[in-house]
Amino acid sequence: MPDNELAIINGNVNSIIVNGKTQKENVLIAKVNQQEVGSYSKGWPKNLKVKPGKNEIEVRHFKPWENDFEYMGGGGAIGGLQAGKIKEHSMNHDHYILNFVAEKDKSYLINIESNPNDLKKVSITLTNALTNEKIDFQSNKIEINKSEYSTLSNTIDNIEELDKGNILIYNGAKGLYKNKQKTGRIIIRIDDKLLGHIDPSEYLVMNLNEGKYNFNLLHVDVVNINSEHEVVITNDTKVILVKPTMVSNKLEVTNELPKNFQKFKNMKNK
């Protein structure tokens, strides 16, 4: 179909000040009519041409203050294929699905703008990119990689603070596992439910009832490296160590905080 018979979809970029730092939030096009067109692994299109008529566009609201890195734009995977796989597996993202009618030979701009006074609130607009005319659309939000467990934001200073079934899980990876590609990141599932991810020198605090659980650990280093661990939680269980190894992952109930624990951060407070 000739270009002048198609419509063009663009994602906007906004500058926003978060914690005194200017950051750029992006609208990245993930799917068109349920077909994947963008991801961390394959990169993100700057714009897309679609057929006129009803279209369903799924976009990712990229927020660098939550993701610890800036999106630099253009195609190609962010940080390479390996880093892209890790990000897709582990990072929580807000996606929005927009349904609207596109007209041929017109260009549309999708804008998602966070409220600097309340970053949980966003405004979504769809406009004609040339005339700035607002276009009618319907939208709904979905969360990607949403944790199925609740974690606590408590800052832990000593083991005595862990009571009433609260358990601390920390990532003890060191050395070469601390890198921009996040190969030291451990993604945790408990009984096939996603808990979330922990980077080296991070921890999380959660509540688990006494009983037997299956922990699945995953880290990505060229390939996916999975391991299964049966863990029995008792009233005495306080601290669990996880970390990647060359060919697997390690899990150990230590019930001790690491020596340099004052340097660790609760991943929920990043």
pLDDT band at 80 (very low <50, low <70, confident <90, very high): low
What pTM was computed for the model?
Answer: 0.68
Same domain, 138 and 186: no
- Domain span including residue 106: 3-144
User: Which residue is listed with tokens 């260009």?
Assistant: 107
Share of the chain above pLDDT 90, in %: 64
Kindly report which listed range (9-18, 36-45, 209-218) carries the lowest average pLDDT score: 36-45
Same domain, 133 and 190: no
Same domain, 124 and 168: no
Residue 242, pLDDT above cutoff 90? yes
Same domain, 107 and 200: no
Same domain, 263 and 189: yes
Same domain, 138 and 179: no
Same domain, 32 and 127: yes
Same domain, 127 and 162: no
In the chain, the number of structural domains is 2
Same domain, 205 and 111: no
Residue range 25-70, pLDDT digits in tens: 999 999 999 999 988 777 788 789 999 999 999 999 988 887 665 5
Same domain, 133 and 186: no
Q: Which of 144, 160, 182 is the last residue of a domain?
A: 144
Same domain, 193 and 247: yes
**Structure confidence at residue 77 (pLDDT):** 45
Q: How much is the average pLDDT of 232-249?
A: 96
Residue 180, pLDDT above cutoff 80? no
Q: Which of 123, 144, 165 is the last residue of a domain?
A: 144
Residue range 218-235, pLDDT digits in tens: 998 877 899 999 999 999
Kindly report which listed range (151-155, 187-191, 228-232) carries the lowest average pLDDT score: 151-155
Distant-in-sequence, close-in-space partners of 147: CB < 8 Å, separation ≥ 6: 92, 194, 195, 196
User: Which residue is listed with tokens 């041929």?
Assistant: 104
pLDDT band at 82 (very low <50, low <70, confident <90, very high): low
Same domain, 131 and 224: no
**CATH number of domain containing 221:** 2.60.40
Residue 65 in tokens: 């203050």
**Structure confidence at residue 84 (pLDDT):** 59
